[in-house]
Amino acid sequence: MPIAVDIDVMLAKRKMSVGELADRVGITPANLAVLKNGRAKAVRFATLAALCEVLECQPGDLLRWESHDTADV
């Protein structure tokens, strides 16, 4: 998939656990893991906004596009 998810990077920068982020965003840890591991097919704007609010970041800090040339490397 050409969309990469960098939630791990922001969690490390904020020294926050996945469980804490899930609680503060209001989603289950399982659903956060699906998103974090790049297995999600979609994300609601409300969820993205909540992630950005809790992590104090922009959507582009969490999601980025990779060309097909680099996505499989």
Q: Give me the mean pLDDT over the 12-18 stretch.
A: 96
| pLDDT category of residue 72 using cuts at 50, 70 and 90 | low
pLDDT in tens, 23-71: 999 999 999 999 999 999 999 999 999 999 999 999 999 999 998 765 4
Instruction: Supply the pLDDT for residue 11.
Output: 96
SS3 per residue for the chain: CCEEECHHHHHHHHCCCHHHHHHHHCCCHHHHHHHHCCCCCCCCHHHHHHHHHHHCCCHHHHEEECCHHHHCC
